[in-house]
Amino acid sequence: MSVTDPLGGHPPVTGGPGGARETAARWAMLPLRLFLGFTFLYAGIDKYVDGGPFSSVMNTDTMEGMLLASRDDAAVPWLVDRALDAPELTGHGVAVAEIVLGAAVLLGLRTRWAAGLGTLLALSFWLTVTWSTDPYYFGADLPLLFGFVTLALAGGGPYTLDGLLGSRPWFLPHRNDRIFR
């Protein structure tokens, strides 16, 4: 018996082509994409509405205070220092990045690229602000990081603009097209 043979000598139940397993595999990334897209879109928009750090109710001192409080325990304190050099620019940059990548992931537009950027953003949050969270699983950034890694590796699944546009937006050349002629 080979390690690839099913136990008991019976073939695995798949329900044939288009069976339950294939359907589940096809739809597996949709819940993750919806969760990450809504979460980051909401997080970006929330920074500009009432009570958010850049709304009229609050100012950038909130973000600056959070960064200062986490600086000594951060895994990469120099990254916190860079953010503290221009806290307003950093805050608006993060908010806009969250909105753009949240919308891209939610719509399935260049999903793998957006998930790659989400991975970098979640990694920077984890290495700076939530690094000292104890136990580590209380921090939200690590699960978000691995959610984005999974989405970047597997793609967006069904109901994506990428799929509607033939896996490439209209503004990018085909892979075989020469950019310069």
**Picking from 11-15, 25-29, 69-73, 139-143, which range would have the lowest pLDDT averaged per residue?**
11-15
Residue of 10, 73, 39, 58 lying closest to 145 (CA atoms)? 39
Within a domain: 5: no
What pLDDT is stored for residue 12 in this prediction? 52
Q: At 89, which amino acid appears?
A: L
Residue 110 counted as domain residue: yes
The mean pLDDT value for 165-169 works out to: 61
**Reported pTM:** 0.76
Top pLDDT among 15 and 123 is at 123
% of the chain with per-residue pLDDT over 90: 34
pLDDT reported for residue 89: 86
- Flag whether 18 is in a domain: no
Give CA–CA dist 64/89, Å, rounded: 11
CB 148, CB 39: distance < 8 Å: no
Identity of the amino acid at 125: F
**If you compute the radius of gyration of the chain from its CA atoms, what whole number of angstroms results?**
21
Sign of the alpha-carbon dihedral angle for 74, 78, 84, 88: negative
Domain that holds residue 139: 30-153
Answer whether residue 123 is part of any domain: yes
Is pLDDT above 80 for 128? yes
Task: Report if residue 126 sits inside a domain.
Answer: yes
Rounded to the nearest 5 percent, the helix, strand and coil shares of the chain are 60, 0, 40
User: Distance between CA 137 and CA 179 in Å, rounded?
Assistant: 46
Q: Is the dihedral of CA 47, 53, 57, 60 positive or negative?
A: negative
Provide φ and ψ at 5, rounded to 5°: -75, 140
Domain membership flag for residue 15: no
φ, ψ of residue 23 to 5 degrees: the values are -65, -45
Q: Which of the four pLDDT bands, split at 50, 70 and 90, describes residue 77?
A: confident
Q: What would the pLDDT profile of 78-107 be if each residue is shown by its tens digit?
A: 988 898 888 888 888 999 999 999 999 999
* Coil, helix or strand at residue 166: coil
pLDDT band at residue 179 using 50, 70 and 90 as cut-offs: very low
User: Could you tell me which residue, 21 or 181, shows the higher pLDDT?
Assistant: 21
Q: Evaluate whether residue 49 is within a structural domain.
A: yes
Number of domains in the chain: 1
75 or 7: whose pLDDT is higher?
A: 75
Q: How far is CA 83 from CA 16, 58, 90, 126, 128, in A?
A: 54, 18, 6, 14, 10
CA distance 25 to 17: 12
Checking if the pLDDT of 9 tops 70, the result is: no
Cβ atoms of 87 and 60 within 8 Å: the answer is yes
Residue 59 lies in a domain: yes
- Please give the residue that has the higher pLDDT: either 158 or 120: 120
